[in-house]
Amino acid sequence: MALTRFPVPGFQAAVRAPVRSSMLLAAALAGCGGSNPFQVSSDASGDLSVVGRQGPTPFIAYLDVSGANVGSLDSVTYQIQRKPGSVSKPVQASYSFAALQARNDVTETGLTIPVFGLYADTQNQATLHLVFTDGSSRDVQVKITTPAYEDPDGVYDHPTIVQARAAGSSLGYDFVALKSTRASVVVIDTDGTVRWIGTGTPSAATIFTDNGFVVGSPTSQQIERLELDGTVTSSQVDDPSVVEFTHNIDPGKTGLLAEFDTTTEFDATAEEITPTGSVLMTWSLGDLLSKYMSSHGDDPTAFVRPGTDWFHINATTYDPRDDSLIVSSRENFVIKLDYATGEPIWILGDPTKYWYTFPSLRAKALTLADGGFYPIGQHSTSITSDGLLMVFNDGTPSVNQPTGAPAGQSRSYAVVSAYDIDPVAMTAQEVWRYEHQPDLDSTYCSSAYQTGSSYLVDYALASNGTNLRLIGLNQNREVVFDMAFATSGCQTSWNSIPIPFDNLQFE
């Protein structure tokens, strides 16, 4: 069957834009001959020596430590001192001796410590805290001078700080991974400074897990594992029907949840896979909904339309409270499925859309309390610490329904919505809503996630699609920082996640 995707603006066009990782990596390396050539010095003395080598980008270095007692090392922690005026916490990572051995970073004469999160074009002040098996410890001060980083498009190295983070402000994270389709993964701190850039393929489908990034290819079955030291390894999804990754990768029941185009459908398949591509579970939304609708007296062929972008799955969330899967369909609704059987449990969506005209789907619809906003064109489903369903609520109506079918409501601005779902009463209440003042638009892409009691909101297509607006909110959903980056078609960061660069443990 020939597949035809209806031309729509936004995410899909951005994902399939020409990738430019080689250009950005070349720019990252171009600074090697700039104002600050790479060099390392330390106050190590006696039987201890510390020398350094540059990594694949200015944000990574390798410290070679040698000495008579290095073999009795138990662990080593490094911390990079903040730049003057920075509010974000220092980058800090700890390696057990066993972790360094597993990485093949231990030799008979010494060991190598990968250091990442360095400031570019800076004499970084770092502290190595060495702990030995006899309980003794030693601190070594190291200066790591890094070359410049320059983005050829002047995007990531030229943020506009709308509201700088204030000293002493409370926030549950200090570092953010930007899921870019024009570069590999980019990590910035909450001051807006680039602190790491990946050396892999640009892709929307990205997750931070086990102290590294797993990235799915937007053009194939390939999976890349990006280590923070710059190492990249590849594997494949073990499913011949998979054509490419499309949107996000989220934590699953035991593995990773990802969305795919397949040989028979666009954006209507989710799978749980291992980080190396073994398939643990598959949900074909076309097959599951066709079976359900037929068994309840509806003709599904008018709704499930293989060969068109009828569903547009863009996020999946595992809910351990009832062993279920929450699936976001940008075109239709948010639907909860039984994890094992795929049977629909409830649907939360705009009742003025096309899907509501089918009695079998309408029977699963949650009733939304008066005054609530339905999820419309939503992205980034997740479950908050207090059990609410949170979505980035774009406000965009359906764009791929049959001619004459109702496209539903629309809004000229985006919000973040958090819902309390009662699956017994089949009701939903929008418990809270974040509306930026003044209003911000973002018709496609975008995300909202919670870390601790704080939130990170990514308006991927703000200002009529010209800016990424990245906003940090505290526990009261008050703005802690607000920064903007130039963008086009969701490319700069279609989705962003907080990551713990301030406290990584390699065991």
What is the full per-residue pLDDT of the chain (507 aa) written as tens digits?
Answer: 334 343 334 444 334 433 444 445 544 544 444 568 999 999 999 889 999 999 999 999 999 999 978 889 999 999 999 999 999 999 999 999 999 999 999 998 899 999 999 999 999 999 999 999 999 999 999 999 999 999 989 999 999 999 999 999 999 999 999 999 999 999 999 999 999 999 998 999 999 999 999 999 999 999 999 999 999 999 999 999 999 999 999 999 999 999 999 999 999 999 999 999 999 999 999 999 999 999 999 999 999 999 999 999 999 999 999 999 999 999 999 999 999 999 999 999 999 999 999 999 999 999 999 899 999 999 999 999 999 999 999 999 999 999 999 999 999 999 999 999 999 999 999 999 999 999 999 999 999 999 999 999 999 999 999 999 999 999 999 999 999 999 999 999 999 999 999 999 999
Tell which residue, 63, 65, 93, 59, has the closest CA to residue 79: 93
Residue boundaries of the structural domains of the chain: 11-26+151-502, 32-145
**Percent of the chain that is helix, strand, coil (3-state, to 5):** 10, 45, 45
Report pTM: 0.94
Bridge partners of residue 139, in order along the sequence = 129
pLDDT at position 264:
93
pLDDT at position 4:
38
pLDDT at position 15:
41
pLDDT at position 5:
43
**Strands of the sheet with 110-116, listed across from one edge:** 48-54, 60-67, 110-116
Distance, CA of 148 to CA of 470 (rounded, Å): 24
Instruction: Report residue 294: phi and psi, to 5°.
Output: -65, -40
pLDDT at position 24:
52
Domain 32-145 in the same topology as domain 11-26+151-502: no
CATH of domain 11-26+151-502: 2.120.10.30
- The reply to whether CATH 2.60.40.10 applies to domain 32-145 is yes
Ordered DSSP codes for 17-61 = SPP-HHHHHHHHHHBTTSSS--EEEE---TTEEEEEEE-SSTTEE
Q: Is 234 exposed, middle or buried (0-12, 13-18, 19+ CB in 10 A)?
A: middle
Distance, CA of 215 to CA of 202 (rounded, Å): 8
> Which secondary structure element, helix H or strand E, spans residue 368, and what is its range?
strand 367-368
| CB contact burial 113-124 (16+ within 10 A = b; e otherwise) | bbbbbbbbbbeb
Distance, CA of 232 to CA of 467 (rounded, Å): 30
Distance, CA of 84 to CA of 30 (rounded, Å): 25
Tell which residue, 263, 272, 218, has the closest CA to residue 244: 218
pLDDT at position 34:
52
pLDDT at position 271:
98
